[in-house]
Amino acid sequence: MKPIVVFSAAQNEMTAYQQALLIKLNKLAGEVKGDTGITGLKLDFNFGLRLEVPDGDFFIRIRDGESGQEYFAGKLAAQCLISMEKYYIPWQVEVMKDGELVFVHQLDVTGQLVYMHLGNALGDMLAIMPYVLAFQKRYNCRIVCQWQENFSSLLGKCFPQLTMVKDFPVDCYAAFVLGIFQDTPILSPVDARLIPLPQMGSIILHMPIIPPKLRLVDRNAVTADKFPYVCIATQATGIKKCWHYPHGWEILTAKLQESGYRVLCIDGNQELREGRYVAGIPQGAEDFTGYRPLIERLELLAGAACFIGVSSGLSWLAYAAGTPVVLISGFTLPSNEFFTPYRVINYQVCHGCHNDLRVSDKNSLCPYHQGTERELECSREITVEQVWKQVQRCLQE
């Protein structure tokens, strides 16, 4: 590939991390593939706009095909022009040679092969997937997704119209990275903490629509279990996402069992430890933990009377199963996840630091009160009474 010239539609400066990410994605996409009909001039949209320019007197202009805003204008020769931004922008490319307009092209994925580079977070993928399906329907394009072992059985059964591949396709017209990103602007124009997760797909794929709710299974077609059960998940990707009211899960489990429900704990691990905090299988709950196939988890959730969990991928999977979800979280704001009428949060204590842009230390256990008596009060001060009232209402409705 020719020497690279990077431009930014939003005129952003690139950090070392973003530069390394750009190099990684460009290497994954390989050589610029699209033939323009002009010798040596190649164009594709694999992880951003990529225009390879041969030697000669070439002037390149890049605009927004909808607004007309100019992003780049200048002379190039024997170089490869690459955009910093990797999400969907309606790029329009104009090429002049020796002062004459010789090539014009606007991004159009209609009928084309499009590659979706998946993240490995279950909740993120389930939040974005409705927009992927809407994108495919709108443009009648052929979509292939990066192979992910965790999602292969789930996508294979629930999304047969999407193909999973292990190698980047050689004839790809456009490629996008799917995920919930806080590092702007290379993968997303906005910090995901500002936007509800169910809307991020709209921004990344430039789909200003309201897609249908993601439903991966028909609950009405699930055979009712002889003994009604509730699924719970006490863990998440970080201990700060968990519910830390003292013995809260044990008390809740006992209340459910007294009401005639089996309680199945379906976390991936039996236990999550971080410092002095522990999240694990509550005493009395049945051990259904383990990294079982997601399609198996989906079917189990579809038969549950409800699901009780925290801000995690399993909560999203329960939502996709159509199962009523009681979601306990003070770490995130309710707008962060999908809407559930059974959301539990205590607004009278410190809460929502995940969605607070003033928080810069992502690795901090409790950015405002770490090491004090108020540490993780966002979840410790959500009482069993609060949760139980929502569970009762959920089961009754």
pLDDT tens, residue by residue, 186-224? 999 998 888 888 899 999 999 987 877 888 887 877 766
308 closest CA partner among 343, 277, 258, 272: 343
The DSSP secondary-structure symbol of 254 reads: H
- Whether residue 198 sits in one domain with residue 340: no
- Assess whether 180 and 321 both reside in one domain: no
Task: Give the model's pLDDT for residue 121.
Answer: 86
Query: Is the omega angle on the peptide bond into residue 185 within 30 degrees of 0, that is, cis?
Result: yes
pLDDT tens-digit profile of 267-309? 999 999 999 999 999 999 999 999 999 999 999 999 999 999 9
Q: State residue 350 phi and psi, 5-degree precision.
A: -60, 135
pLDDT at 15: 87
pLDDT category of residue 11 using cuts at 50, 70 and 90: confident
The domain of 169 spans: 113-204
Residue identified by tokens 């002379």 is 75
Give 155-173 pLDDT, tens digit per residue. Answer: 888 888 888 999 999 999 9
The tally of domains found in the chain comes to 3
Q: Is the pTM of this model over 0.75?
A: yes
As a whole number of angstroms, the distance between CA 93 and CA 295 comes to: 43
**What is the set of active-site residues?**
124
pLDDT at 145: 93
pLDDT given for residue 370 in this prediction: 93
pLDDT (0 to 100) of residue 102: 97
Spatial distance between the Cα atoms of 92 and 100, rounded to a whole number of angstroms:
17
Nearest C-alpha neighbor of 341 from the set 301, 396, 393:
393
**What are 58's two structure tokens?**
């070439």
Q: pLDDT grade, residue 181 (50/70/90)? A: confident
Give pLDDT, residue 157: 83
Taking residues 82-101, report their average pLDDT: 96
**Rounded distance between C-alpha atoms, residue 368 and residue 371, angstroms:** 9
In the chain, the DSSP E strands lie at 4-7, 42-46, 50-53, 58-64, 70-76, 79-83, 91-97, 100-106, 113-117, 142-146, 163-165, 174-177, 229-232, 262-265, 271-274, 277-280, 286-287, 307-309, 325-328, 342-344
**CA separation for the pair 48, 21 (Å, rounded):** 12
Calculate mean pLDDT across residues 366-385: 96
The answer to whether residues 21 and 50 belong to one domain is yes
CATH of the domain at 389: 3.40.50.2000
- Is residue 349 domain-shared with residue 258, that is, in the same domain? yes
Tell me which of 204, 239, 264 is where a domain ends. 204
Q: What is the per-residue pLDDT for 224?
A: 66
CATH number for the domain spanning 20: value is 2.60.40
Q: What percent of the chain has pLDDT over 70?
A: 99
Mean pLDDT of the chain: 93
